[in-house]
Amino acid sequence: MTTPPTPYAILNGDLLPASRAGFPAHHQSLVDSFGIYETVLVQEGRFFHLERHLNRLGQSAEILALDLPAPLEEIGQWARRLAATMQSPCGLLRFVAYGSDGVHGPVCGLYIKPCPQHQPVIFQQGVAAVTSEGERFRPLAKSTNCLAQAMARFKAQAAGAHEGLIVDRQGHITEGSTSNLLAVAGGVVLRPLAGSALEGVTEGVTLQLAAELGIPMQLAPLPLAEVSTWDEAFITSTNRRIFPLRQIDDIVLPASPGPITRRLMAAFSAYEASQGWED
């Protein structure tokens, strides 16, 4: 079993042994999935775009009319306090917040997971994905209502694929189970229509880099039926950065990684080496 980066967690501002920092089982908001979450990369005591993640936490809370137990600035201080207890150089800081259920007040917990180790072959050859039907409730809120994401992830695991891609009732791919999906066709980066998928922090950096490189981007539906017309595709997330996709279901993409994916992977690596980090 992998040793966690820290034996501590924070619950509503209190630093506790991780084993004591759980949510009460009788809190109805757990059953209702009336919660939100964020995951932030922490390396050598520094956070990758902590403020962007905190802002999205606040945005998710606003969309769902969910009260947080403290202001975002204070929750950010909790994160810094917990990161100071880390015993390894890298971790994934998770914020999980549940709103009031009418009896119990809002709760926010913070804990840190180990950073996954990605094999170089992933970046050289790409990964496979399978599709799964489902939809995110209120797509712009990163909520704990993740049944569609979980089912997509379980299907991918059973198929031996790296990621599950979610297909909505219109037959459009919207996002991955734990990632954002971007496709490339005719030299243009295609992103799902605004409001149809969670807007990822890593995805946002990637699109910013694409603009700086002069790579055009277009918001467009991504029909599953048109995957065979794509030139390349990739997924983005906090712990992956950019992973090229080599196959979706039984369709093998022409290039993995393709030329645009390669440019963006290199640009992201350079960006991360010098930008985006906050104390």
Instruction: Give Cα separations from 32 to 87, 99, 111, 112, 136 (angstroms).
Output: 35, 10, 22, 24, 15
Question: Is the pLDDT score of 25 beyond 80?
Answer: yes
CATH number of the CATH domain containing 93: 3.30.470.10
Rounded to whole angstroms, the Cα distance separating 228 from 251 reads 7
| N- to C-terminal Cα separation, the chain | 30
Please answer whether residues 178 and 92 qualify as being in contact, where contact means their C-beta atoms are separated by less than 8 angstroms.
no
Instruction: Using the 3D structure, point to which of 114, 132, 158 is the last residue of a domain.
Output: 114
- What strands, in cross-sheet order, belong to the sheet with 46-48? 14-17, 8-11, 107-114, 90-98, 35-43, 46-48, 277-278
Q: What is the crossing angle of helices 201-212 and 50-64, to 10°?
A: 120
Task: Indicate the pLDDT class of residue 194, thresholds 50, 70 and 90.
Answer: very high
Q: Do 145 and 220 lie in a common domain? A: yes
Q: Do 61 and 13 lie in a common domain? A: yes
Q: Do 266 and 162 lie in a common domain? A: yes
Q: Do 150 and 206 lie in a common domain? A: yes
DSSP assignment of 90-123 equals EEEEEEEEE---SSS--EEEEEEEEPPPPPHHHH
Total structural domains in the chain? 2
Q: Look over the chain and give the mean of its residue pLDDT values, rounded to a whole number.
A: 97
Rounded to whole angstroms, the Cα distance separating 203 from 191 reads 10
Residue 1's pLDDT is what? 61
Q: Is residue 2 part of a domain?
A: no
Q: Is residue 222 part of a domain?
A: yes
Instruction: Using the 3D structure, point to which of 114, 141, 160 is the last residue of a domain.
Output: 114
Rounded to whole angstroms, the Cα distance separating 66 from 106 reads 8
Could you tell me the residue range of the domain that residue 93 belongs to?
8-114
Residue 2's pLDDT is what? 78
Please answer whether residues 271 and 209 qualify as being in contact, where contact means their C-beta atoms are separated by less than 8 angstroms.
yes
Residue-wise pLDDT tens digits, 212-270: 999 999 999 999 999 999 999 999 999 999 999 999 999 999 999 999 999 999 999 99
Mean pLDDT, range 44-65, rounded to an integer: 98
What SS3 state is found at 190?
strand
Instruction: Give Cα separations from 119 to 122, 160, 202 (angstroms).
Output: 6, 16, 20
Question: Is the pLDDT score of 3 beyond 90?
Answer: no
Q: Is residue 105 part of a domain?
A: yes
Please answer whether residues 168 and 174 qualify as being in contact, where contact means their C-beta atoms are separated by less than 8 angstroms.
yes
Task: Indicate the pLDDT class of residue 163, thresholds 50, 70 and 90.
Answer: very high
Please answer whether residues 49 and 276 qualify as being in contact, where contact means their C-beta atoms are separated by less than 8 angstroms.
yes
Question: Is the pLDDT score of 32 beyond 70?
Answer: yes
Please answer whether residues 152 and 45 qualify as being in contact, where contact means their C-beta atoms are separated by less than 8 angstroms.
no
